[in-house]
Structure 1
Amino acid sequence: MKKVKLTELEEVLNFYRNARREMGEEPPEEKKINALTFECLIDFLEETLRVADEGKKKIGWFGPGITREPLLAMDIHPYRAELLVGLLPTSRPEVLRRYVDIAENAGLPAEMCSIDRGAVGLILSGQLPPPDFIVGASLPCDNIVIGYQIYNNYLGVPSYHPDAPYGDDEESIRYYADQLKGMIAFMEAQTGKKMDWDRLKEIVEESNRAYEYLLETNELRKAVPCPQSGRLLTMSNFLNSVGAGQPKGTAVFRQIHEDARKRARLGLGVVEEERSRTVWFMLPTYFDLSIFDWMEQEFGAVIVMDMFSYATIDPVDTSTPESMLRGLAVKALNAPMARQLRGPTDFYTDDLVRVCEEYQGDCVIYAGHEGCKMAWGSVGLIRETCKEIDRPLLVFDMDAFSAPPAASGEIRRRIEEFFCTVVQP
C-alpha cells in the first residue's frame, strides 16, 4: 500500500500531546479525567499513524451500527471515518470548514450532513488512513448510509454493509446478530484469518467493565444536585470509538465514575446553586462545548442527561459466540442516535419521557443538527410529548461540527431567552 502523509491527524495528535503535557506528569484531581481521556486518544492516534506508515496491519473503517470489538479480536486496526470530523472542531475548527468546502466544490450539496462533507473533503485530500476494507451499517440516517457509499465508491475497497432492522424486538435482534455474523465472515475473507472467539471474549469483557462504570455513573447523575458537568456526557460515544475493549478506555470511565461517586456522596453539585436540570436530547454543540459551561455558570442549568450517554441495556453475555453476537447486536442497535432515530419516533419520545422522569429534568433542549433530516421530521411529535409531560422545550437548528464563528453567539442568545423567559422567568 502506498504510504501517505496524514498531516491533519499528526496536527491533532500534537494538539492533544501538548494539552496533556501542560497538565504535568501527575495532574491535579480536577484534571485527571481529561488527562486519561487525552492519553487514550493519543495512544489511538499514534497507533493509527504507525499502522498506516508500516502497512503491515489491516485497517478497517467501521461506521455507526458497528462496534469495534470484532475488529480488535481479528487484529484489525479499527478506524471510524468520522473521527477527525469530530476532533477538529475542538482543536482546529477553521481546518474542518476548509475540508467541508473542498467536498462542496467537488459536488456534495451544502444540505448534506457536515460529517459526510468533512469526511469526503478529508478523503479527497488524502488525509485519512487508507482502509483495506469498510464495514458500515444502514443506520442511523440516510446521510451516513450515502456517505459510506461515497467513501467506498471513491476508495474502491471491498465493503460489507450489515442491514439494520427497523424494530427492537427479539426477531430484529436475531436478524442483526446474523448480519454481524456475515460481517465477520467478510472480514475473515479479507484478512485470511479466522475469528478468535476467545480473544473476542476478552475484549468484550473489557468493554463490559467500561459500560458498567457508565451505567453506575448515570445512576449517580440522578442525584440532586447533579454531581458532574454536562460536558462530561459528550465523552462516552467518542471514547467508544477509540478505546472500547481496551484498558485505557476503561480507565477513563472508571475515573469518571469515581469522581461522580465521591461528589454525590458529599452532596456536591457542579454549581453552587442548581436552578435547572436540563435534558439535552439531540447533538451537542461540538463546535463550541463551552456553551455547556456557560449554561451552568449563567443560569445554574446543568445538563443531567443527553441522548449520547443515556444507556439502558445490559452488558454483553460472553458465555458463547452466539451470545456475544446477540449482545453486540443489541449494543450496536442501542448506540446513540441509532437507538432513538433508526425507527419510529416512539423510540425517541419514550426515551425522552423516561429521562425527564428518572433524572428529574425540568426542561428540554433540542439542538437540531442541520444534517439530521430524519429527526427534524419528528419535531412536531416531540413538541406534543413535552406538552404532555409539562416540560418546556427549546428547539433551534445548527451545524454541530462546522458552524461559522457567529453561530455560538446566536445559540447563546436563544438559550438565554429560553431560561430567562420560560424556565426561570
Structure 2
Amino acid sequence: MGKAVGSSKLGELYSGDKKVFKHREWRGIRDTWYDYTRWLGIIAMLGKFMLHPKNVKGFFRYRWMLNYLAVPMMIDKHSMGLRGTQLRICREEYDLVASDVAKLLTKIFSMDRNLGASPEKSKHVVLMDENEMTNIMCGFPNLEGLSWETASCYVCVLLQGDAMTHYLDVVQECGMPGDVCPMPASEAGICIDGDMPVFGKCAVQCNTTCDGSLMGNGVISRALERNGIPVHQLATPLRHTEPGVQEYAAQEVRNAIAFIEEQTGEKFDWDYYFECAKRINIGARECTEWLEITKTDYPQVIGNNILLYRETEYMAIAGKVPAFAKLDKKITKMATEAYQKKTMLAKEYRHRAVIWGVQSQFYTDFVAWLLNCWGILPMFDMLTMVSLDPISEDDKEQAIYDMAHQYENMIMRNRTHGGYEVLLDDLWRYCEEFRADMVILWEHIACKALDGMHGMFEEQAREHGIKLVWVNHDLYDPRVIPRKNLRQDVNRYMRSVLREEPLDPSLEDYDDTNLW
C-alpha cells in the first residue's frame, strides 16, 4: 500500500469473518492522517449523538438502530482507493450527510410518541415519503418535512447490507407478495413489526415509483391514521413528459399545499420558498459543472461522490439547508483545480461507463470496486440524472409548475415512469454526450418497469456499439443475490468477453460475507 493512486492491493483489507477491514488503508502520510482525523470526527459525532437520553432510548427501542454502528465503516468503504482531492470531496460530502442524518434521528426521537413524547411535540412536522421530493416544505419556514422511512430503512441498508431482511420476512409472513420491490416491502414490514416511530401533525404520501410503493403506502397510511395523523395522497402523473398532464401535476401540488395549511394552520411563505429556490439552483448549477468536467478525459466528481450526495441534496434537502449549497461551491472549486492538474482517480481508465437502472442499495460501494478492480470509470448513475433545470426565484405561478416538475422527476420515478424515451433514449444520448463505451446496467429483479425492457436494452446497445454488462440484484435483500455474485457478473464479462486482466487482482475474488 502506498501514496500513489492504484498502488494498494485493496482486496487484502477484507476478512471474511469480520465486519470491518483488517486495518485502515495506507494512503501515504498526508492522506492517511487526513482520513484518520475525519474518521475520528465521525466517531465523535456518534458519541455526541448518544449523549441525548432520547437517542439512547431510541437506540434500544428500535431494531434498525443497530445498523448505525456501521457509519464509520460505510464511509471507509466508499472512500477506498481515493487520494488527494477525491478523498477530500468524499469525506466532505459523507460527513455532511452523516451529520444531517444524525440531526434527523435526534429530531425523530425527541418527538416520538413511542418514547413518551406528546403529540404536541411534533405539531410542526409534516411526514414525507422516503422517495418523495420535499420541495413543497420550502414554503413553510415554521414547519419541518421529515421522513421516518429515510432513517429506519433507506440509510440502514447503506450501512448494513442485510439491515432489512427481518422486516422483509415480517411482511411476507403477513401474506404480502414476496416478488415486489423490497424497499416498500421493508417499510411496510417496519410498520407491521411495530418499529415505526410515531410523530407528526399530518403526512403527505406520493405515488413514487411502482405498485409496490402504493402497497407500502397503504399499510403505512393506515397505521398513521390510526394514530390520529391524517394522510394526503399527492398523485403525480405517470406520463410526466407530456404537456397535457402538467396542469394536473400543478394542481396536485396546490392540493398538497392546501392540505398542509389546513392541518397545521401555517400559510405558504413565498419569500422563504424563493430563498430555498436560490439554493436549489445553486446545487443544480454546481452539479452541471461537475458533469461538464466528467465529459473530459479527467473527470473528478464521479461514482458515489456524485450519486449518494446529489440524491440526498435533491430529494431530502431541497434547498432548506444552506450548508449543502456552500459545500457544492467548495466541491466545484476543488474539482476544477484537480482537473487543471489532470488528476486521475485510478492508475488507468479502460472504460467510460454510465451506471443505469435501479442500484443495489445493499452494495452502493460496488461502483468504487468497478474503478479499483477493472479500471471502469463510473461517471454517474441513473439516479444522479434528475432535473437540473433552473427553477423560478420570483414567479409564484411558475414556481407551482417547478415544484410539480420536480415531483415528476423524483429519483427512479423519472425513469421508470414517463415512457421508454426517458429510460432508453436518454441512456444512449448520455452515452454519446459523455463518450461512454460501456453501460453497467443494474437488473433489479423485482423492478418490473426496467426488467420488461431487457430485450430492448440488448438490441439498442448493439446498435450503438455499447458494451452492456448486466448486474443482477434484489435491492435490499442480499440473501437473494449476495455481493460476491454482483462482482462475478462483471468479472465474467471482463474476462470472457473482453479478455482483460484486473488492475488490482486482489479485488477480483475476496470474501466479504460478514462485512457490514
TM-score, normalised with respect to structure 1: 0.89
Deviation at 1:19?
Answer: 8.2
- Whole-angstrom distance in 2 between the partners of 1:416 and 1:18: 25
Cα 1:423–1:321 shift into 2, 3 Å: farther
The reply on whether 1:58 has 2:124 as its aligned counterpart is yes
How many Å apart are 1:345 and its aligned residue? 1.2
Contact 1:13 1:46 in 2 (8 A): no
Q: Using the TM superposition, give the Cα deviation of residue 287 of structure 1 relative to its aligned residue in structure 2, in angstroms.
A: 0.9
Corresponding position of 2:313? 239
Is the counterpart of residue 393 in structure 1 residue 465 in structure 2?
A: no
1:98-247 equivalences in 2 (<5 Å): 98-130=166-198, 131-156=200-225, 157-165=229-237, 166-235=239-308, 236-245=310-319, 246-247=321-322
Partner residue of 2:103? Answer: 43
Q: Which amino acid aligns with 1:73?
A: G
**Compared CA separation, residues 242 and 343, structure 1 to 2 (3 A):** closer
Counterpart Cα distance in 2 of 1:205 and 1:346: 30
Per-residue deviation at 1:72? 4.5
Distance change in 2, residues 1:229/1:319 (3 Å): closer
Cα gap change, 1:369 to 1:292, in 2 (>3 Å): same
Structure 1 residues 103 and 256 mapped into 2: Cα distance closer, same or farther (>3 Å)? farther
Question: Secondary structure of the equivalent of 2:268?
Answer: coil
Give 1:351 shift: 1.3
Distance apart, 1:342 and its partner CA? 0.9
Structure 2: which 5+ residue stretches go unaligned? Answer: 1-53, 80-86, 501-516
Report % sequence identity. Answer: 19
Q: Specify which structure has the bigger relative contact order, considering alpha-carbon pairs within 8 angstroms and separated by 6 or more residues.
A: 2
TM-superposed CA distance for 1:180, in Å, is 0.3
Tell me, yes or no, if the aligned pair for 1:64 and 1:136 is still in contact at 8 Å: no
Q: Which residue of 1 aligns with 2:145?
A: 78
**Matched residue type, 1:384:** E
Q: What are the superposed Cα offsets for residues 278-330 of structure 1, whole Å, 9 maximum, x if unpaired?
A: 11101222212232222111210011121011245412112122111111111
1:250 corresponds to 2:325? yes
TM-score (norm 2): 0.74
> Counterpart of 1:364?
439
Shift of 1:67: 2.3
Give secondary structure in 2 for the equivalent of 1:40. helix
Matching of residue 420 in structure 1 with residue 481 in structure 2: no
Contact 1:233 1:308 in 2 (8 A): no
**Secondary structure of the corresponding residue to residue 161 of structure 1:** strand
After the TM superposition, which of the residue ranges 235-244 and 189-198 deviates more from structure 2? 235-244
User: In structure 2, the residue corresponding to 1:61 is in which secondary structure?
Assistant: strand
C-alpha distance 47-223 of structure 1, shift in aligned 2 (>3 A): farther
Q: CA deviation at 1:229?
A: 4.0
- SS, match of residue 316 in structure 1: coil
What is the root-mean-square deviation of aligned Cα atoms in Å? 2.8
Query: Per-residue deviation at 1:13?
Result: 5.5
Instruction: Specify which of 361, 379, 382 is matched with residue 286 of structure 1.
Output: 361
Number of equivalent positions: 418
Give 3-state SS (helix, strand or coil) of 1:41's partner. helix
Aligned match of 2:38: none
Show the counterpart of 1:29: 88
Give the letter for the 1:147 counterpart: G
Decide whether aligned partners of structure 1 residues 296 and 17 sit closer, same or farther in structure 2, where only a CA change above 3 A counts.
closer
Q: What secondary structure does 2:248 align onto?
A: helix
Over 3 Å counting, the alpha-carbon distance change for 1:355 and 1:287 in structure 2 is: same
User: Is structure 2 residue 80 aligned with structure 1 residue 7?
Assistant: no
* Shift in CA distance, 13/209, structure 1 to aligned 2, threshold 3 Å: farther
- Taking a change above 3 Å as real, the CA distance of residues 34 and 105 of structure 1, as seen in their structure-2 partners, is same
Given that residues 126 and 202 in structure 2 are in contact (C-alpha distance below 8 angstroms), is that contact kept between their aligned partners in structure 1? yes
Deviations 1:147-170 (A, max 9, x none): 212211233242222222214133
The one-letter code matched in structure 2 to 1:41 is V
Aligned: 1:318 with 2:393 = yes
